[in-house]
Structure 1
């Protein structure tokens, strides 16, 4: 045993120096080295991309913990398990829409279909051995913060048996997502319709649309994708839209002409449906340098999209002109269609969507555009606000999701139920990840996350690292609980509110066609009912990543463990818990786990990579 190890033994030298630092104090030095961890239990909600990323990030960065992920569906995958309508695919390039730590080289299409993304997530889960941490068909139905015990008390429902049971967690992480709580259109008489009523997020496998008269409600991403799949075999197709939307030209063409990925894109082969050739897939698999170049160049293009939404910038004006030109061409120059479908609001005010075949389908003789709101459903179909009744065999509702950020179950913190709080006020969070008054509670893609900025896979990696860092801080620094301060959340929200008018996201959406069916005002899932932009980050993707690089400890409020290092037993209250606390108790007995762990390098600080990481010898840019 080395001298350091001998001296670090409990009570080996402590009695002579362990004196209270304050007159009459009860503080005692904790007999453990700096870096020691306390055992913690983490519960996460949702086993989509965020949940899987969290499991992996915790494995890489924490010890002495346990995690359970509750997933309401029968399998992992989240959005990509639930949404399987015809034409459903991602609108982010496949090679950007993947984990950086688990790259897939045999994607079949430039924009992956839902089935392939779902299979990818299942494969990652299986091959990484994550299923042992995941309980499918389990749903958290209530979470309540217990201040006395410093933990979350949970009620969980087994969706197979219907039984409910209690659980607890030191940390609760909500990764339930934003685009999976689907909703029917908010119109009268939903139950009156006697035909086939379908929502894109619950597509029935047995539905055959051949020869039927169909109404498709909505022109968001789902409506744009499903309509061209239904059009060829339908007898007649009514497309009901209240607000026009910007439909982007194929991104590959645009990037080849003016993006940084033009050269590398010219080296791949795609068919008319944007499927990769077998030769291209084999090149990805056999040439790692080319594959890496391809992935990085696509990522640059995704990151470069932010200037488009800055309303007073030259990029917005140029892009808007080009997209208008493209939409006009795809609509065959038809003045009536162009007037009904090309927006008069800035590019990006509603989510911009690439629509392979969508605009062309709208010009077909069996498609009728109805630029109108819906008054009510009737037994034979739909009555529009104009009074016209559409008699249809089936209604397809591409009417989206509940994006209010209001939790689906009660989350009761220090200030009451978050559901009630966010019903009364605009949802706001600290850097989209945490909420004041909710200790040890974190979110993926909460209010003002960059949900419209590109791949959620990459976003969830950065968020998982941030959350894990905060949890580790608590685990190793004697912190019982932490939550962002109300002042920090309010200041962040003030910045968000001041920034958003610079963007197209905050621009008003008008209805100037006179049909009586426009949305008016500010209808967009990006916004709350009061018109504030709640779904998007005030900056670029890189801005968001940069923001999360450093944990701003000054923005958080802490509750510390007593100097013994353990939470109190049941029945012990605030006074007992506070007895003997000291924020520096985690410093322990004067030794560090870095010098006591035989597997660690106790002179790591001399390594070149450590020096560069600390900035001691970081190259400076010469101006």
Structure 2
């Protein structure tokens, strides 16, 4: 590769007086005299930007809070397809829906809630929290509800994303643009695959949730529901209810439905660890849930330092468990023995379900769930656990491969998510590359789970390769936001039109992740959404602890990014008129005398 040295810039003193624009001298820079015009703006001047975030859940709200506090001259908009704020907690309303992370650490650091009702909060309480946060901090003004983004394409010349949006309340299509596009729609997306009466061939239909690939599914005569599309009008009490799936949603559903149903049949394909690992020291008996007393809530509200100490103690315990993710570690061996013993105890000694439910893969290969009350629900008198393979659905219920027909009144599918990380809509980057198409048909790949080569000014939250099995997602989102804001700030104040990670940096990051994860539990032989459900695929999970992730994102590796300046004449155009925004009227212009260490705060070991 040949590197050409640019011609030296002529001395400003040699420029003729006539070669000026707006009273500023023009620098030749080896080209025409008019190639570079000195700006009349100071160093640090924030050029106007428009930022759009898709989704008004946790990520969109966090960005709405942080962006105006740290960036100037930025217009921020959120487009949300639903009728309200809340994201996944608005969409998931099935009985028993709850967070598997302790409530006091599943909240924004800037909006603590001392009065959570329970250790593991219900989905309804989390939704109320998010909507209250939006109102309290006046974040609703940024949100356009019932606006579904249908298409996004990058304009290289203008340095903007052009969006096509469906205003579903007005029934019209609108256009918008932004300099930076943030995808905050989440990574667990529902996609329907409805099997029509065409044998075992399938047709993909465009909707938001995923039915299982079971023959004649829609021939069932009774109510058929998916956990992500719950119908509150369906009566469960006194009914014969079937639940397909034993992931997190299935576990919560079975626990909630068992006391109501006349008969409950749960169809289980895979074993799974029921865990008390998450903040076990602070949870209830056997890792169970518990309700905070009025006295406890008052104490937290009246003594915020003590409340912070409590939150930090829970977070610290969870962060200290990373050793469990190494397949051959003593911690992993101990966890397997402990959880297997606990599960046998809760199921009952020598219960036949033990051999079917207790996995032979590592603890953590699939995302752990506390499963409060789940094992007890499985052993209840009105519950039947079916492990035989399903042949097809018939009007009366479920036909098994054995030929038996399990008769049901209600059938519920809790069969998981589309985890391709593919956007819900076409995202067209440089050279016409469609990210939706690429990630639907091949392995998703992102730089530090945040950005993709050839997709400038496009960032995604909780992307492939993030810390998806490391604890609460909210601190992860907050750190991603800080990282994204640093990139936007640099582009804004140093006059860069576009920024994208380099292909080589992305490839090397992915190579490191793949090599590292060979030793992790996520690569063990289990079916997991971290591997798109396939047991033999390298997991898309961060190669390190949560603290490792936070450390990695503390400062961007600028050398891994490719920057396109606004000015084609001179990359130092942003230096401007010789002044700095740091010396604007009213600002302390001798701050460096206050603290000899000022500016070194980011250096940390």
Tell me if both proteins adopt one fold, taking TM over 0.5 as the criterion.
yes
Counterpart mapping for 1:439-454 below 5 A: 439-454=456-471
1:403: Cα distance to partner? 1.2
| Counterpart residue number, 2:124 | 115
| Counterpart residue number, 2:358 | 342
Contact 2:420 2:443 in 1 (8 A): no
| Counterpart residue number, 1:592 | 580
2-structure distance, mates of 1:547, 1:234: 49
| Counterpart residue number, 2:600 | 614
- Note if 1:434 corresponds to 2:451: yes
2-structure distance, mates of 1:94, 1:440: 34
Change (3 A) 1:302 1:586: same
Classify the secondary structure of the residue corresponding to 2:104: coil
Counterpart mapping for 1:139-538 below 5 A: 139-181=148-190, 182-249=209-276, 251=278, 254-255=280-281, 273-415=289-431, 416-509=433-526, 523-528=527-532, 531-538=536-543
2-structure distance, mates of 1:328, 1:612: 57
Contact 1:74 1:137 in 2 (8 A): yes
Specify every segment of 5 or more residues in structure 2 that has no aligned partner in the other structure, as ranges. 1-18, 191-208
1:501: Cα distance to partner? 1.2
RMSD: 2.3
2-structure distance, mates of 1:491, 1:193: 50
- How many matched pairs? 566
2-structure distance, mates of 1:162, 1:378: 38
2-structure distance, mates of 1:154, 1:200: 31
Deviations 1:146-201 (A, max 9, x none): 11221111100012233111111111000001234231112221211111111111
Deviations 1:232-251 (A, max 9, x none): 22111111111100001375
1:286: Cα distance to partner? 1.3
2-structure distance, mates of 1:64, 1:92: 37
Counterpart mapping for 1:553-564 below 5 A: 553-562=558-567
1:298: Cα distance to partner? 0.6
Change (3 A) 1:535 1:560: same
Change (3 A) 1:250 1:177: same
2-structure distance, mates of 1:395, 1:354: 24
Change (3 A) 1:285 1:108: same
Deviations 1:294-313 (A, max 9, x none): 01101101212322121011
1:431: Cα distance to partner? 0.6
Classify the secondary structure of the residue corresponding to 2:264: strand
Specify every segment of 5 or more residues in structure 1 that has no aligned partner in the other structure, as ranges. 1-10, 257-264, 510-522, 563-577
Runs (4 or more) in structure 1 with deviation over 4 Å come to 11-17, 268-273
Q: With the length of structure 2 as denominator, give the TM-score of the two structures.
A: 0.89
| Counterpart residue number, 2:197 | none
Counterpart mapping for 1:54-65 below 5 A: 54-65=63-74
1:269: Cα distance to partner? 12
1:22: Cα distance to partner? 2.4
Q: Name which of structure 1's ranges 198-207 and 323-332 shifts more when overlaid on structure 2.
A: 198-207
Change (3 A) 1:534 1:408: farther
1:480: Cα distance to partner? 0.5
Classify the secondary structure of the residue corresponding to 1:95: helix
2-structure distance, mates of 1:439, 1:59: 22
Change (3 A) 1:250 1:487: closer
| Counterpart residue number, 1:514 | none
The higher relative CO (CA closer than 8 Å, separation ≥ 6) is in 1
Contact 2:523 2:539 in 1 (8 A): no
1-structure distance, mates of 2:555, 2:92: 36
Deviations 1:448-468 (A, max 9, x none): 111221112111111111111
Deviations 1:408-436 (A, max 9, x none): 11000014111222233210001111010
2-structure distance, mates of 1:499, 1:411: 30
Classify the secondary structure of the residue corresponding to 2:218: coil
Contact 1:447 1:534 in 2 (8 A): no
| Counterpart residue number, 1:22 | 30
| Counterpart residue number, 1:571 | none
Contact 1:269 1:276 in 2 (8 A): no
Q: Name which of structure 1's ranges 338-347 and 411-420 shifts more when overlaid on structure 2.
A: 411-420
Change (3 A) 1:70 1:534: farther
2-structure distance, mates of 1:613, 1:544: 23
- Note if 1:101 corresponds to 2:110: yes
| Counterpart residue number, 1:572 | none
Classify the secondary structure of the residue corresponding to 2:105: coil
1:476: Cα distance to partner? 0.6
1:388: Cα distance to partner? 2.6
Counterpart mapping for 1:1-80 below 5 A: 15=23, 17-22=25-30, 24=32, 26-80=35-89
- Note if 1:86 corresponds to 2:90: no
